[in-house]
Amino acid sequence: DGGITQSPKYLFRKEGQNVTLSCEQNLNHDAMYWYRQDPGQGLRLIYYSQIVNDFQKGDIAEGYSVSREKKESFPLTVTSAQKNPTAFYLCASRPSVDGYNSPLHFGNGTRLTVT
Amino acid sequence: GDSVTQMEGPVTLSEEAFLTINCTYTATGYPSLFWYVQYPGEGLQLLLKATKADDKGSNKGFEATYRKETTSFHLEKGSVQVSDSAVYFCALSDNFGGTSGSRLTFGEGTQLTVNP
């Protein structure tokens, strides 16, 4: 079955370390997204990419970086510059052909804890 | 900018009760509207959507109607079950110019608990 795989499900890091979260999709979707979820704050957009080798900052991009070298993959790096990195991170994708009418498909998330 | 406002939670109901979760939005273009559901420890799943005014989205007994005049997209279900306990998110995707149409804006989510 097609879908979005995020790994690992739980991730623990020490403060000051960079960490990369994996996101892979086999849905042949063009656009991919990273959201951060904190309790009581809904989802906030970190970065998104509509095509390979191109990406745009979302609303809370500071302290994060991404790459889009392959259509299937959109890894997110949480750098030491991110002040409050502990959160639940969600990756999503959608086809571009229907544009804004298409819903997002989500992975099951990675819970990052930084101490 | 675009925004979505959901009714404050949490919402607690007894099984077979009627459910309404309010959602209103502001958008610069002609958005598509979505409801997503999130079960504990999981990602979001699409529940239903509507792409133009007066459209009704429906799935698994849930319904929502796109009301342009009141900028609303309220979620309803006639008889909830314990298995409906989850967090529900209202979202919009706007087609106004440039790359903004490729983004979804989410409400803060409403926690629903259904007791037997």
Is A39 touching B (CB cutoff 8 A)? no
Q: Please report the number of interchain residue pairs, chain A to chain B, with beta-carbon separation below 8 angstroms.
A: 62
Residue A96's pLDDT is 74
Residue A72's pLDDT is 97
C-alpha distance from B108 to closest chain A C-alpha (Å): 4
DSSP state string for A49-87: EEETTEEEE-SS-TTEEE--SBTTB--EEE-TT-S---E
Question: Does the structure show a pLDDT above 50 at B100?
Answer: no
Residue B101's pLDDT is 47
Residue B102's pLDDT is 65
Indicate yes or no: CB of A42 within 8 angstroms of CB of B95: no
Task: Give residue A41's pLDDT band: very low, low, confident or very high (50, 70, 90).
Answer: confident
**Chain A neighbors of B109, CB-CB under 8 A:** 42
Which has more confidence, A1 or B61? Answer: B61
Task: Give residue A8's pLDDT band: very low, low, confident or very high (50, 70, 90).
Answer: very high
The token duo for B110 is: 């409403």
Indicate yes or no: CB of B104 within 8 angstroms of CB of A109: no
Residue B49's pLDDT is 95
Chain A: residue whose CA lies nearest to B51: A101
Question: Does the structure show a pLDDT above 80 at B98?
Answer: no
Mean pLDDT of chain B: 91
**Chain B neighbors of A109, CB-CB under 8 A:** 41-43
How many whole angstroms separate alpha carbon B17 and alpha carbon B28?
36
Indicate yes or no: CB of B89 within 8 angstroms of CB of A42: yes
pLDDT tens-digit series, residues B37-91: 999 888 999 999 999 999 999 999 999 999 999 999 999 999 999 999 999 999 9
The token duo for B50 is: 């509507």
Check: CB of residue B49 under 8 Å from CB of residue B104: no
How many whole angstroms separate alpha carbon B112 and alpha carbon B116?
13
Indicate yes or no: CB of A100 within 8 angstroms of CB of B95: yes
Residue A98's pLDDT is 65
A14 by Cβ neighbours in 10 Å (0-12 / 13-18 / 19+) ranks as exposed
Residue B98, φ and ψ in degrees, nearest 5: 45, -135
